[in-house]
Amino acid sequence: MKRLSIIALLLLCCLPSQAQVSSMRRNAEKIASALFYIQTRYVDSVDFDKAVDAMMMGLMDQLDPHSTYIPASQVSAANEQLEGSFEGVGIEYVMLYDTLTIQAVVVGGPSEAVGLRAGDKIVAIDGETVAGVGLAAEAMKPRLRGPKGSHVTVTALRDGQARDYVIRRDKIPIESIEAAYTPEPGIVYIKLSRFAQNSAEEFLDALRQNAETRPKGMIIDLRGNGGGFMHVAIFLANLFLQDGQTIVRTEGKGINREDHARGDGLYEKGPLVILVDEDSASASEILAGALQDWDRAVIVGRRTFGKGLVQQSYSLSDGSEMRLTVGRYHTPSGRVVQSPYENGKRQDYFRQARERYSHGESFSADSISFPDSLKYKTLRLGRTVYGGGGIMPDVFVPYDTTGINRYVLRAINGGLLSEFYYDYSDKHRDALASKDLAEFDSRWEKLEPAVFDEMIAFFGTKGLKAENEEELRVAAPMLKTRLKALLARSVLGTSAYWQVINREVDPAFQEAIRIVKNWSGDFPELP
């Protein structure tokens, strides 16, 4: 049997109209002719792979803002965060003073197994010097990563002494749970950073580890969570909804689907708060929208991004991928999650999202107006909720600028706070070592005055000085808390970082705690 061309296969599978068939054939011939003439007649040599990649990206730019093309060389990296693992040595690192400095080692990973630890400085990889030679952090990735079972030798500096470590690469999990703990007895807090392949299993593990019995309340933090796999959001929604309740509706060409709860949820009743912000998108909005529409959770924070378009990945012949929008999400009440857009105006779309801050939306719910046509009713209690793009929270918490001034912004955004933190944690790791956060708090209380003075002096050596005593006084609480959180992370892990931030400088988290503690009946009275 003769091999069918790819165009013929597409025509057979999709059964387009005769007019569409003619259009597809005509455009395919046009592109092929253009490439032929460039290759055979153009005066200079051309990198055709690069040119075709650029052409594909240009094609995507004429579509909606979330359809994308990924060149073959970038597919693996693009899928990594969602697949939930990669193969390598299992360290988190930064480039400090032109030297790769280990920030953390993956527990149970290959680097921990050979004795590497946070603070070690890698100066050579497989005999090649990588310190002080101007290499960027990205340049380290291909040197450290490799197939499972392969070996790499790193030379690490600790306390001025160099030592070689032979590491057997392995599969390294990328965890999507950044923090899970009980801020108060019986209340479980889980911060989910993405909806990856392993997120559902991680979520259940985090719940089991922090609640021996049924929780008295739960807080799920989706702030900054840009989404991921829809089926993971559906799985998590099922944990909290009752049998038969709609989770999401998906509509598109050839798609008309509803997903419903199966009736085997672990926490169908009880206090539940979802934290969101302007960076919560896609799968985060599916979960938050479903729980809001069924009056199952109180949504706290700021309006979410508004990404309600469904992408399907299509692998192309050279290993590249096209992630094409094939449908739209609707919440159970019928709200459209997607914010308005125009095809071919990708930059305008993302600029509008960034301009929410300058338009005042981050600071006042009154800056957002909704026409009557965008008002919907929740499905159980008949509360008013809003469509038109994104999920508007039930309780609005403005962006907190307390303690943020020019001095703080230059210290944080200029990298000076991070630079001081890495240097200090490296030199004082034994003094900071703690078995839990309570012990760390005690150690920090004694260290804080001297550490803060040392940090301010360090900033001065880098050219950052407060204009007056008042500027420094306002900046001090924020800088102290940020530094404390970073140092807690260095000795106790990421969860400790969020515990410090949540309890000391996060009004949205504190509002969530208040709602859970004052919950009455099956849904609380809201302000």
Distance between CA atoms of residues 289 and 150, nearest Å: 45
Say which residues have a Cβ less than 8 Å from residue 519's Cβ, sequence separation at least 6: 217, 270, 271
Quote the pLDDT of residue 48. Answer: 84
Query: Residues 67, 176, 199, 282: which is the catalytic one?
Result: 282
Distance between CA atoms of residues 63 and 56, nearest Å: 11
Quote the pLDDT of residue 2. Answer: 42
Mean pLDDT of 441-461: 95
Is 122 within 8 Å of 155 (Cβ atoms)?
A: yes
Q: How far is CA 506 from CA 227, 310, 403, 421, 440, in A?
A: 22, 32, 12, 21, 20
Exposure string (b/e) for 254-281, b if CB count within 10 Å is 16 or more?
A: eeeeebbbeeebebbeebbbbbbbbebb
- Residue 44 corresponds to which amino acid? D
Mean pLDDT of 351-379: 77
DSSP 374-422: GEEE-TTT--EEE-SSS---SEE-PPP-TT--HHHHHHHHTTHHHHHHH
- pLDDT for 486-503, tens place per residue? 999 988 988 999 999 999
Neighbouring C-beta atoms of residue 123, cutoff 10 Å: 17
Quote the pLDDT of residue 5. Answer: 52
Phi, psi of 128, rounded to the nearest 5 degrees: -90, 125
> What is the edge-to-edge ordering of all strands in the sheet holding 395-396?
177-184, 187-192, 217-221, 272-276, 298-301, 395-396
Quick check: 3 pLDDT over 50? no
- pLDDT for 38-96, tens place per residue? 888 889 888 888 888 888 999 989 999 999 999 988 887 777 666 766 788 988 887 87
The residue ranking higher by pLDDT, 111 or 498, is 498
Q: Across all residues in the chain, what is the average pLDDT?
A: 88
Give strand pairing partners of 172. 86
Distance between CA atoms of residues 425 and 104, nearest Å: 12
Residue whose pair of structure tokens reads 């703080």 in the numeric block: 408
Residue whose pair of structure tokens reads 């308005």 in the numeric block: 340
293 is a catalytic site residue: yes
pLDDT band at 308 (very low <50, low <70, confident <90, very high): very high
Is 327 within 8 Å of 251 (Cβ atoms)?
A: yes
Is 191 within 8 Å of 178 (Cβ atoms)?
A: yes
Lowest-pLDDT choice from 8-12, 186-190, 343-347, 391-395: 8-12
369 is a catalytic site residue: no
Q: Please report, rounded to a whole number, the percentage of residues in the chain having pLDDT higher than 90.
A: 50
Quick check: 365 pLDDT over 90? no
Phi-psi region of 199 (alpha: psi -120 to 50; beta: other; left: phi over 0): alpha
Quote the pLDDT of residue 6. Answer: 52
Quick check: 248 pLDDT over 50? yes
Quick check: 1 pLDDT over 90? no
Quick check: 367 pLDDT over 70? no
The residue ranking higher by pLDDT, 194 or 14, is 194
What pTM does this model have? Answer: 0.85
Quick check: 513 pLDDT over 70? yes
Q: Please report, rounded to a whole number, the percentage of residues in the chain having pLDDT higher than 70.
A: 95
Distance between CA atoms of residues 474 and 215, nearest Å: 39
Quote the pLDDT of residue 141. Answer: 84
Query: Residues 121, 191, 307, 480: which is the catalytic one?
Result: 307
Phi, psi of 510, rounded to the nearest 5 degrees: -65, -35
Query: Residues 293, 394, 426, 506: which is the catalytic one?
Result: 293
**Helix (H), strand (E), coil (C) string for 462-478:** CCCCCCCHHHHHHHHHH
Q: How far apart are the first and last CA of the chain?
A: 71
Say which residues have a Cβ less than 8 Å from residue 200's Cβ, sequence separation at least 6: 232, 235, 236
Quote the pLDDT of residue 385. Answer: 95
Quick check: 227 pLDDT over 80? yes
Helix axes 494-505, 507-517, angle to 10 degrees: 80
Burial of 454: CB neighbours in 10 Å, binned 0-12, 13-18, 19+? middle
- pLDDT for 369-398, tens place per residue? 677 778 999 999 999 999 988 999 999 999
- pLDDT for 116-169, tens place per residue? 887 788 999 999 998 888 887 778 888 998 888 899 999 998 877 888 999 999
